Amino acid sequence: MTNMTLNNGVEIPQLGFGTAAIGEWQQDDSYVSDTILKAMSIGYRHFDTASVYGNERALGRAILESGLPRQELFITSKVWDTEQGRGTADAFARSLERLQLDYLDLYLVHWPVPAYTRETWESMERLYAERKVRALGLSNFRQSDIEQIATFAEVRPTCNQIELHPYMTQKPLVDYCQFHKMVVSCWSPLGSGSWSGVSTDAKPIVDPVIVALAEKHGVNAGQVILKWDLQRGRVVIPKAESLQHISGNFDLYRFELSDEDLEAIDRLNRDYRFGADPDTAHESNKKVQVPD
C-alpha cells in the first residue's frame, strides 16, 4: 500500500477504510468492530471515523482487539457542527476517550461553519501544538472557506475530504487544493452507500464506461473507480461490510489504468451530488446530535 506525504511531513496511507454507517447510521456494536477487524486482517491501516458517526468506541475496541501497534495505524476523526467553536477541545477529548487513544493522526473540521471557523481552527492548532494530533485538516470545505482559514491560520490545513466520484469530480476545487499542497481525500468514492437512498442504477459503478473498463482490466467497477482516484493522486476511503467487498477494494495494485482510461472517467462528471451540499448542509447538520 502506498503512502502520500502531507504538507507537514506526516505520511497518510492513500487507501483507507471509511466507517460511516457500518450496519446502520450511528450503530456502535460488535458487528461494527468485527467489520473493522476484517478490514485490518486484509491489510487496511488507515481508518476514517467522526464523532457524529457514533462508532468511535467500536473502532477503539477493534484497535485494542487487533493487537496492532498504534504506530502502524492512521486514525482520523472529525469535529461535528454542534461541537465547533468553543466546544472543539472538549469534542476532541471525547473522541480520544471513545477511541481509547492517546493521540489522533488526523483531525478534521467535518463541515464548514464560517462563523465558528476561526475559533474551531485555533482550538485545533492548540491540540496540534500539544502533540495530541499529528495533522489538521478540513472536510467539505469550499474554496471560499479555505481562503477564510488562510487569513489567520498558523498551521496550514493538510487536506480536504470532499464528496468525489466519477459523477462529481469537483475539478476546480481539487486543482485549488492540490495547488496549495492540500491532499484531496474522497468520501463516497463509489457514489454513496445505502444510507443515501440513491438507487444503484443511478451510481457510477453501473456506468457503461466504468463497466467496459472493468471488463477490459478483468476487475470490478468499484476497483476501476478506486484505482482512478489513486492514480490521480488522491486519498480514497471506501466503506464496505462483506469480506468480498472489503478485500476487493484493497486489491488495487495488480492493474493500471491508461491515460485514456483516466480521461474517459474524468469526462463522466455531471456535478451530481449524492450527499449534502456545503452551501446548505449546516441547517440540517445542527439538528443531528453526536451520541454520548
**DSSP class per residue in 229-270:** HHHTT-EE-----SHHHHHHHH--SS----HHHHHHHHTT--
In the annotation, is 167 catalytic? no
Phi and psi, residue 153, nearest 5°:
-65, 135
**Residue 202, CA distances (Å) to 164, 190, 197, 219, 237 in order:** 15, 11, 11, 21, 21
For residue 15, which of 44, 40, 55 has the smallest C-alpha distance?
Answer: 44
Cβ 204 vs Cβ 180: under 8 Å:
no
Cβ 28 vs Cβ 291: under 8 Å:
yes
> d(Cα 80, Cα 109) in Å, to the nearest integer?
7
Q: One-letter amino acid identity for 232?
A: R
Q: Which of 31, 44, 53, 272 is catalytic?
A: 53
For residue 239, which of 204, 163, 168, 187 has the smallest C-alpha distance?
Answer: 187
Phi and psi, residue 11, nearest 5°:
-95, 135
Cβ atoms < 10 Å from Cβ of 169: 20
For residue 39, which of 78, 71, 12, 73 has the smallest C-alpha distance?
Answer: 73
**Catalytic residue positions?**
53
